[in-house]
Chains A and B, each alone.
Chain A
Amino acid sequence: MLKTNACSALICLVSSLLGSSVLAHDLAWQGFVAQGLISAPDSGFVNNDGGLSAELTEVGLNGRYSLSPSWHLAGQLVYLNGGNRYPTGARLDYLFLDWAFYNSDAWQANLYLGRVKNQHWLYSSTRDVPFTRPSIVLPQSVYFDGFRDVAVGSDGMALQLRHSADHGDLTFNWSLGTVPISSRQSRLLLGHNTTGSTDLTRDHKASLYWQPQLSAFSVGLVLQDAAFTYTPAATELISAADFQVQRVMLNMRYQGEHWELASELQQERLQTNGFFSPQFARQQLGQGGYLLAQYRVSPAWRWFSWLDYMVLEKDDRWGRAFSAQTGGAVPAYFAYQHTLASGVSVDLTARIRLQAEIHWNRGTARLTPVIQPDVLTNRREYWQLYAMQLMYRF
């Protein structure tokens, strides 16, 4: 309902604005094409046979149309193929009306209506744009690919307030909306054999960032509250379910001339009611985070490395209780995932970049599906990932 209302309101507003003769017109557009090779032997991260794959395609085209200095319409179409990481295909990444309802030297305020991007995490708003992210595959503790379509944005509204003063720059983001979840996405999250439908009924986020004046440091706090429902198909033995996810995240960034450091630490409460049986109830308090270091060797060459850590339950960090609950059917290493990644990128021209990286992983908690883990494909606690990608922007 919220989605329908938001889209109707957006269409009405755009129609009325386009009809106005006092508005200046200005269209800017750009895009990117990226193709890579990726391999994650001994895991189902990319594909079920773990072989070398070309399922690392990202194509995007976006535009921003200025209706007036205060009103803008922005949209992006993307085509993604990441194998098992997220559903393959084209999607409308964002399409929103941007109203800059206050804009001065000290204060700026924007309201966004439509399909808006997640502006709350350090790399969330451009996680599909290869040139803008530090690694081809982002730290999965925060940027879990199986959750990509749900976390990348929402249909609804968002607000951004910015203030500059002697104490520095403050940015407040708030968003409320919902996300359509495809059957493929639902199976990725819940289990290969599920045939029911998953709905995200609420996605509510807020974040506050502070950068002291002219400082190389910035810090942020992010809060998220999301609720899902699962409605089983008539033929399924699975019960109807409600899931609630609440996340608190702290992040920080340092940007020096050569060194750039970034970290996002999060704690996430996942409440599950139903699914395995009508009476089933479970609460997990997961923790995770990463520390990323980048070194710009020259304007063209960059090296990076990050350390990523996550556990599904902070009181069961090695998954012993988790595995015991399944009678040992699900190995303990499905309750955690720790990764060390390292790689390099080189700008061959102003428009072309080549990037390569290796990830050493222990644990499989961020391999899809999550609720009913694939224990047949993901048979190794230790596994590696190799990726190389060529990117072009225009």
Chain B
Amino acid sequence: MRWLLLLCLCWHLTLSATTVLVHPEVPLDSISQSQLRNIFTLRQTQWPNGTAVRVIVLPEQSELHQRFSRQRLKLFPYQLNTIWDKHSFSGTGVRPQQAESMAAMLQLLRSTPGAIGYAEANLPHPALKELRVEN
């Protein structure tokens, strides 16, 4: 019974986990949590090779966006929105590009050099690179 519960828990965690995906030419294999947060809050705008970071997100009301924001960035979605508004309306940055669906997210990640986004951990993502997030 205990094993069954553990199995269910692992299955649930796998399902609810999110993964960070980037365009295959992004010159990184792993990223720190702090760096991930800096990228999604528009502080870090360039990859180590000098190319521009292009952040792709799902709509704010998307359950996956909310989960990614809380789990990976440790930010509530409204905080992200506030930061993006502050940058974009004062000229110091541009709001991330919004993908209307997961399929559109994957397509944008594949077609946009320097792109970074997210997906469910168990979602197949051909032609994209998965970044390992280190604490």
Contact = CB atoms under 8 A, between A and B. Distances in A.
Interface of A: 24, 26, 28, 30, 60, 62, 64, 66, 69-70, 74-76, 94, 96, 98, 100, 103-105, 108, 110, 112, 117, 119, 125-126, 129, 131-132, 160, 162, 164, 169, 213-214, 255-257, 296, 299, 350
Contacts of A255: 76, 79
Interface in B57-107: 59-61, 74, 76-79, 82, 85-86, 88-95
B46 A94 contact: no
A98 B92 contact: yes
Interface of B: 32, 34-35, 38, 43-46, 48, 50-52, 59-61, 74, 76-79, 82, 85-86, 88-95
Contacts of B89: 30, 60, 62, 76, 125-126, 129, 132
Contact of A74 (B46, B48, B92): B92
Contacts of B34: 105, 164, 213
B54 to A, nearest CB: 9
Contact of B38 (A24, A66, A105, A119): A105
Contacts, number: 94
A28 B45 CA distance: 15
Which one of B46, B92, B94 has the greatest number of beta carbons of chain A within 10 Å?
A: B92
Given A69-B52, A70-B46, A131 B91 contact: no
A104 B77 CA distance: 25
Given A103-B45, A105-B44, A126 B85 contact: yes
B88 A119 contact: no
Nearest to B93: A64
A110 B90 CA distance: 14
A132 B46 contact: no
Nearest to A102: B46
A89 to B, nearest CB: 20
